[in-house]
Amino acid sequence: MLATFGQYIVLIVVIMLLVMLANKLKVAYPVMLVLGGLLLSFQTWIPSVKIDPELIFIIFLPPLLYEAAWYTSWKELWRWRRVISSFAFLIVLVTALVVAIFSSWLIPGFSLALGFLLGGIISPPDAVSASAVLRFVKVPKRLSAIVEGESLLNDAGSLIIFRFSLIAVETGRFVFHEAALSFVSVIVMGIATGLVIGYIFYIALLKLPTTPQMDIVLSIAAPYVMYIVAESMHFSGVLAVVAGGLYLSARSHRYLSYRSRFQGTTVWSVLGFVLNGLIFMLIGLELPEIIRQLGEVSMGEAIKYGLLITGILIVSRIVCTLFASVFTVFISRYITTADNRPGWRGPILLGWAGMRGVVSLAAALSIPLQLKSGAPFPQRNLILFITFVVILVTLVVQGLTFPALIRLVNMPDPDHHASPEEQHRQIRQQLAAATIQFLESHPDDLARSNSLLQQLKTKLQQEEAFMEHCDNTHELGIFGKVYLEALDHQRHLLHQINKNPTIDEDIIREQHILLDLEEEKVRSRYVIEPE
């Protein structure tokens, strides 16, 4: 027991080192973790890993979806709602159909139902992989919004296809109108379930006398409740978590205190980082187990099928995104679209951003070993191996080449957003001006004449004037550097003050927290990257 626990502690340390290396090389960390897991999988000191699909769907998926939904922009999601919906559902369906046709034609003994099963498994791009790649490159805001929005919803579409294909393989029959009706009801009721549960949590957090710690615990419990309740009623647990997460995120300023928001952000960032790291490392470590289950199919044939299906998958997605661009130009004659001239650059980048991930592997692993009749599930091992090849190739090849493709395509930003520095400055000026106006028009005469409030007003006026003259990048850089050094100087001074036995150390800790908050404010306000 102690030795096994020690092995997993070492594994976590290895994950940290690989992520550090990925950041140093400016490579998306999922790529580095999968490759690292592959290398480690053949080491004798690493315990044999066998991923339980329930572990992925119940333990990992709800919090990761919830965190992604929480930080998704409602504005961007609504602006690109048609594109995101078509990518998340229509393109997933088309991709699954293409994979079904080609796999049943290429692979001996592969029926159309098995092809749809494979297509449902490998059709959804992975949210974490694409987001991690986009961290290291500069792309137009619309591209990142579409990729992130699509990745929130496409798991639901693919898992529904997977569910119906599994039934078709089991029963040998597929009734289209029944499947279509069930598809719609699963989506609609999944969203409704998430919204209802989100509203219950919203009212509870709003009315009950909770502490920040309780708020964080409830926020962690919320996605699990949404997912489990929806799945228990055979609705989409993915869409329940996404809908509930979006609902609660939009109202967080109403029911969460500033302490809950600040502490919750830290907890969720750590939780998401650990879960993502473990997932991608486990993908790599799973390879020996998948090879052992390959059965009668030779390794060479399995790799050939995996590479062919991967190529078909990549090409079909790019073709779909280019067709979506052409269709947008056509339909914009009749309805208002967010962009009636999307061009070819954006669709090419969106098509290449189709890295697959852990949801696909978990879905493949969840295929039962036997049919209800007791016969072995046909082609299960080959489906599992092809899924692994698709994940590996798309993550490594597309993940490593995506930054180069972005530079090659050189897509201009058609939205012409102001720089982050300029947006920070505009918002701070508006907030300062609004606060000054509020203080000047306050109905309480005593408040308007209060000396401390007058000093606050003067400070805001000075800040407003400062923001008007901080467009000099060089001067702003010097200001930020020296200010941060001054904050460090205050930390050293606190350390000296703490040696005084009459000073309560809890007060020193509170002052350290205030200095940390001030540093975070300075770095975010003046867009200074942490060292």
Q: Helix %, strand %, coil % for the chain, to 5?
A: 75, 0, 20
Residues 6+ apart with CB under 8 A from 168: 113, 116, 117, 174
CATH number for the domain harbouring residue 393: 1.20.1530.20
Residues 281 and 36 sit within 8 Å (Cβ to Cβ)? yes
Confidence of residue 376 (pLDDT cuts 50, 70, 90): confident
Confidence of residue 245 (pLDDT cuts 50, 70, 90): very high
Residues 380 and 367 sit within 8 Å (Cβ to Cβ)? yes
The residue that leads in pLDDT, 471 or 284, is 284
397 and 330 together in one domain: yes
DSSP structure class, residue 376: B
CA–CA distance, 151 with 95 (Å, rounded to integer): 15
Domain-embedded: residue 150: yes
Per-residue pLDDT averaged across 367-390, rounded? 82
101 and 126 together in one domain: yes
Q: How many C-beta atoms lie closer than 10 Å to residue 522's C-beta?
A: 15
Say yes or no to pLDDT of 194 above 90: yes
For 201-223, how does the pLDDT look when each residue is reduced to its tens digit (9 = 90+)? 999 999 988 888 999 999 999 99
CA–CA distance, 246 with 508 (Å, rounded to integer): 38
So what's the pLDDT on residue 4?
Answer: 59
The residue that leads in pLDDT, 88 or 485, is 485
Two tokens at 167? Answer: 């039934």
Whole-number CA gyration radius for the chain = 26
Burial class (CB in 10 A: 0-12, 13-18, 19+), 440: exposed
Confidence of residue 469 (pLDDT cuts 50, 70, 90): low
So what's the pLDDT on residue 441?
Answer: 78
Confidence of residue 461 (pLDDT cuts 50, 70, 90): confident
Least confident of 189-193, 384-388, 405-409, 475-479: 475-479
Two tokens at 404? Answer: 């180069």
Domain-embedded: residue 397: yes
Residues 392 and 34 sit within 8 Å (Cβ to Cβ)? yes
381 and 424 together in one domain: no
Residues 115 and 106 sit within 8 Å (Cβ to Cβ)? no
Per-residue pLDDT averaged across 426-451, rounded? 75
Say yes or no to pLDDT of 426 above 80: no
354 and 457 together in one domain: no
The residue that leads in pLDDT, 109 or 332, is 109
pTM, two decimals, is 0.79
Two tokens at 34? Answer: 């999968």
Which residue from 136, 122, 153 is spatially nearest to 391, judged by alpha carbons? 122
So what's the pLDDT on residue 261?
Answer: 84
Confidence of residue 506 (pLDDT cuts 50, 70, 90): confident
304 and 384 together in one domain: yes
Confidence of residue 154 (pLDDT cuts 50, 70, 90): confident
Residues 353 and 133 sit within 8 Å (Cβ to Cβ)? yes
Count of domains observed in the chain: 3
346 and 396 together in one domain: yes
So what's the pLDDT on residue 417?
Answer: 63
Q: Find the domain containing 457 and state its range.
A: 420-471
Domain boundary among 450, 471, 492: 471
Domain-embedded: residue 30: yes
Q: How many C-beta atoms lie closer than 10 Å to residue 303's C-beta?
A: 13
Residues 244 and 195 sit within 8 Å (Cβ to Cβ)? yes
So what's the pLDDT on residue 351?
Answer: 85
**Residue 103 identity (one-letter amino acid):** S
354 and 495 together in one domain: no
Mean pLDDT of the chain: 80
**376 - beta bridge partners?**
370
Say yes or no to pLDDT of 462 above 70: yes
Sequence length of the chain is 531
For 171-180, how does the pLDDT look when each residue is reduced to its tens digit (9 = 90+)? 766 555 566 6
Rounded (10°) angle between helices 61-70 and 127-134: 40
Per-residue pLDDT averaged across 271-290, rounded? 80
Residues 6+ apart with CB under 8 A from 521: none
333 and 369 together in one domain: yes
Domain boundary among 434, 452, 471: 471
Dihedral of alpha carbons 264, 266, 267, 268, sign:
positive
Say yes or no to pLDDT of 309 above 80: yes
113 and 168 together in one domain: yes
CA–CA distance, 252 with 265 (Å, rounded to integer): 12
209 and 279 together in one domain: yes
CA–CA distance, 344 with 179 (Å, rounded to integer): 34
Domain-embedded: residue 93: yes
The residue that leads in pLDDT, 423 or 485, is 485
So what's the pLDDT on residue 111?
Answer: 83
Domain-embedded: residue 414: no
So what's the pLDDT on residue 263?
Answer: 84
Per-residue pLDDT averaged across 28-41, rounded? 82
Burial class (CB in 10 A: 0-12, 13-18, 19+), 224: middle
Unique residue bearing structure tokens 């150390």: 505
CA–CA distance, 494 with 82 (Å, rounded to integer): 55
Say yes or no to pLDDT of 518 above 90: no
Domain-embedded: residue 415: no
428 and 530 together in one domain: no
CA–CA distance, 111 with 361 (Å, rounded to integer): 21
Confidence of residue 475 (pLDDT cuts 50, 70, 90): low
DSSP structure class, residue 501: T
512 and 370 together in one domain: no
DSSP structure class, residue 370: B
| φ/ψ bin of 357: left (φ > 0), alpha (ψ from -120 to 50), beta (otherwise) | beta
So what's the pLDDT on residue 201?
Answer: 94
Say yes or no to pLDDT of 2 above 70: no
CA–CA distance, 37 with 284 (Å, rounded to integer): 4
So what's the pLDDT on residue 496?
Answer: 85
Domain boundary among 435, 453, 471: 471
